[in-house]
Amino acid sequence: MEAGEVMLTAEKLRVFPYLEELTLEQCKQLRSAPSHFPSLKKLVIREVESGMPIASILSNKLTTLTYLEVDGVKGLTSLPEGMLRNNKNLKCLKIGNCPELSCIAPHGFDCCASLESLTIWECPKLRYLSDGLLSLSLKELGIQNCSSLESIPIIPEEGGLASLRTLWIFECSLRNLPDGLQYCTSLRNLLIDSCPEITSIPIPSAGLPSLGQLVLMQCPELSSLPSGLGCCTSLDDLTMIGCPKVTSIPIGSLSTTLRCLAVSNLESLPILHGGFTSLRQLGIDGCQSTQIDLQFCQILVSLEDLRISDCPNLETVPSLDKLTSLRQLWIRDCSRLTCLPSGLAMASPHVFTRLESLSLGPFWNELDSFPALQVLPQLESLTIYGWPKLKSLPEQIQHLTSLTELRIEDFEGVEAIPEWLGNLASLHSLHIRSCKNLMYLPSVQAMQRLTKLDYLEMWNCPLLRERCTAESGPEWPKISHIPYISGI
């Protein structure tokens, strides 16, 4: 029987009268499909070379969809006419990696009043979103890497997107966000990342009453923030990174409500005599200065999480001795840093009595050894990043007997893990990554002292991986008792 006859018979017999979910994935030779699925609710089509199967399935006969995902369909220029209008209960629509897609609905006004989530990514020819897609029920709108997208429809005053909770736009060339954000009275999360043409954020002077999270990253033409930001009374999570033209952040009364703050330039923050009384997490990312003024941090007695990362010119980190509530501390990717701040450095007062998680390195490439580290007996998680010149791990690690997780990365000059690893009797997981010259683990006796170790990961460690070959590798007897091993 020919393929066409099989399909025709299937349609006549209605082989799938009760089918509710259908996934077609990596069917690159598929050119046709049945067109009658009377009960279909969820349809996922990924990596199909032709748009014909989706045109057939999404015919006028299909009226029951609640979820549609189209990913990697070549030749698809738009969804079939009437598809959105006919499926009145469609709640989630995802479209991605469709290089020929120029519009979602062919006539621009095809709509689905029940749509709650719309996500579009990697559609370089998509020029606009039709008005009908922004339904009153829409709760989430996300767009990523649609380089030809010119605009998002204006949000009308009457009936605006009152249900919209999340709007995120990543890697797009939009010049403006849609007007009418003030009518999005339920908007909780607004995230803009890597949009080089964006010049302003249309937050109204009265603020957005429900806005809780605002993330603005890598927007080099963004020149300022609206004064209405300080009136967003629900805002507790603010990120401003990679926006060099923004020299002032109008925080206003938010200093008493912000719990999470991430910035590139601390000088863009106002001087607050009362401090940030609610702040729990502070991130400093991409700072270009040689030093960080953490003077205002001295009154952040409630700060629990401090992250300093990607600061290529940073030479010193000032004393953190006043931050006695810290539970997590990161100092990462600071290539000119030569020493640790007071409280972490060896022989400094032990002030981080609550610190549970610590992540350090890499630092100045010319350092012959990792900066001497204070012994923190209560520390549970440690991540250290090395650089080519290092030939050994910091010996102080052996005294961190409360560690349950240890991550060792980028120690290219280290050939052997020392015997003292066996002292870490509380260790549950050990991760060794990108240590390309590493060949030896501690002895069998030392490894067997790690009685709680139940997970070992070795990634991008080619010499060690070869020596840990099951049954035959010389290092295998050292790890054969560990329940879960990844990377060999």
Domain ranges of the chain: 1-153, 380-488
Fold of 1-153: 3.80.10
- The domain 380-488 is placed in CATH, from the list 3.40.190.10, 2.30.30.240, 3.80.10.10, 1.10.10.60, at 3.80.10.10
Band of pLDDT at residue 3, cut at 50, 70 and 90: very low
The residue with tokens 């849609």 is 178
Band of pLDDT at residue 32, cut at 50, 70 and 90: low
Q: What SS3 string covers 428-440?
A: CEEEEECCCCCCE
CA 243, CA 199: separation in Å to the nearest integer? 10
Confirm if 176 and 152 have CB atoms less than 8 A apart: no
Lowest mean pLDDT among 140-149, 259-268, 402-411: 259-268
Confirm if 138 and 163 have CB atoms less than 8 A apart: yes
CA 288, CA 371: separation in Å to the nearest integer? 22
Confirm if 411 and 418 have CB atoms less than 8 A apart: no
User: Does residue 43 carry a pLDDT above 70?
Assistant: yes
- In this structure, the chain runs to a length of 488
pLDDT at 272: 58
Band of pLDDT at residue 10, cut at 50, 70 and 90: very low
CA 303, CA 438: separation in Å to the nearest integer? 38
- Which of 300, 295, 318, 296 minimizes the C-alpha distance to 308? 318
**Alpha carbon 274 to chain centroid, angstroms:** 32
- The tens digit of pLDDT for each residue in 314-365 reads 998 888 888 889 999 999 999 999 999 888 887 666 788 899 999 999 999 9
CA 211, CA 222: separation in Å to the nearest integer? 20
User: Does residue 162 carry a pLDDT above 90?
Assistant: no
